[in-house]
Protein backbone atom coordinates (compact mmCIF):
# COMPACT_ATOMS: atom_id res chain seq x y z
CA UNK A 1 0.00 0.00 0.00
CA UNK A 2 1.70 3.16 -1.19
CA UNK A 3 2.09 6.39 0.75
CA UNK A 4 1.80 9.62 -1.22
CA UNK A 5 2.27 13.28 -0.33
CA UNK A 6 -0.80 15.40 -1.07
CA UNK A 7 -1.22 19.18 -0.92
CA UNK A 8 -4.68 20.36 0.08
CA UNK A 9 -6.07 23.12 -2.15
CA UNK A 10 -8.49 24.16 0.61
CA UNK A 11 -6.18 24.61 3.61
CA UNK A 12 -2.70 24.40 2.02
CA UNK A 13 -1.42 21.66 4.33
CA UNK A 14 0.81 18.93 2.85
CA UNK A 15 0.15 15.46 4.27
CA UNK A 16 1.40 11.93 3.70
CA UNK A 17 -1.63 9.73 3.01
CA UNK A 18 -1.91 5.96 2.63
CA UNK A 19 -3.80 5.08 -0.58
CA UNK A 20 -5.07 1.51 -0.45
CA UNK A 21 -6.91 1.43 -3.77
CA UNK A 22 -6.46 3.52 -6.92
CA UNK A 23 -10.22 4.26 -6.94
CA UNK A 24 -10.09 5.55 -3.35
CA UNK A 25 -10.50 9.35 -3.09
CA UNK A 26 -8.29 10.57 -0.19
CA UNK A 27 -9.34 13.47 2.04
CA UNK A 28 -7.23 16.02 3.90
CA UNK A 29 -6.63 14.89 7.51
CA UNK A 30 -6.62 18.55 8.64
CA UNK A 31 -9.79 19.98 7.10
CA UNK A 32 -11.58 17.00 5.49
CA UNK A 33 -11.53 18.47 1.97
CA UNK A 34 -11.19 16.14 -1.02
CA UNK A 35 -9.47 18.89 -3.09
CA UNK A 36 -6.03 17.26 -2.92
CA UNK A 37 -3.19 17.43 -5.43
CA UNK A 38 -0.61 14.66 -5.39
CA UNK A 39 2.91 16.01 -4.91
CA UNK A 40 5.80 14.84 -7.06
CA UNK A 41 8.05 12.28 -5.36
CA UNK A 42 11.37 13.64 -4.09
CA UNK A 43 13.32 10.97 -5.96
CA UNK A 44 12.11 11.79 -9.45
CA UNK A 45 14.65 12.54 -12.16
CA UNK A 46 15.54 16.19 -12.72
CA UNK A 47 16.45 17.92 -15.94
CA UNK A 48 19.37 20.30 -16.13
CA UNK A 49 18.61 23.57 -14.35
CA UNK A 50 15.36 22.31 -12.82
CA UNK A 51 14.57 22.96 -9.13
CA UNK A 52 14.38 19.94 -6.83
CA UNK A 53 10.72 20.66 -6.00
CA UNK A 54 8.50 23.09 -7.87
CA UNK A 55 5.99 24.97 -5.70
CA UNK A 56 2.58 23.49 -6.46
CA UNK A 57 0.45 25.96 -4.49
CA UNK A 58 -2.44 27.86 -5.95
CA UNK A 59 -0.21 30.88 -6.68
CA UNK A 60 1.47 29.05 -9.60
CA UNK A 61 4.66 31.08 -9.23
CA UNK A 62 6.95 28.16 -10.14
CA UNK A 63 9.48 29.06 -7.44
CA UNK A 64 10.98 26.31 -5.25
CA UNK A 65 8.76 25.25 -2.35
CA UNK A 66 8.56 28.00 0.24
CA UNK A 67 10.22 30.49 -2.12
CA UNK A 68 7.18 32.70 -2.45
CA UNK A 69 5.87 32.37 1.09
CA UNK A 70 2.71 30.59 -0.01
Q: What is the pLDDT of residues 5-59, one digit of tens each?
A: 999 999 999 999 998 887 888 999 999 999 999 987 766 555 565 555 455 555 6
* pLDDT, position 22: 78
Q: Are 32 and 41 in contact (CB under 8 A)?
A: no
Number of domains in the chain: 1
* pLDDT, position 40: 79
Q: What average pLDDT does the segment 53-66 reach?
A: 56
- Whether 45 maps to a domain, the answer reads no
HSE at residue 55, side-chain half, CA atoms within 13 A, is 15
- Whether 31 maps to a domain, the answer reads yes
5 against 63, higher pLDDT:
5
* pLDDT, position 15: 93
CATH number at residue 33: 2.20.28
Q: What range defines the domain where residue 58 resides?
A: 1-40+50-70
CA 50 to chain centroid, in Å, comes to 18
- Whether 70 maps to a domain, the answer reads yes
Amino acid sequence: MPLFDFACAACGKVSEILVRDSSEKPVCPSCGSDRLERELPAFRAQTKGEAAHVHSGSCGCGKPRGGCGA
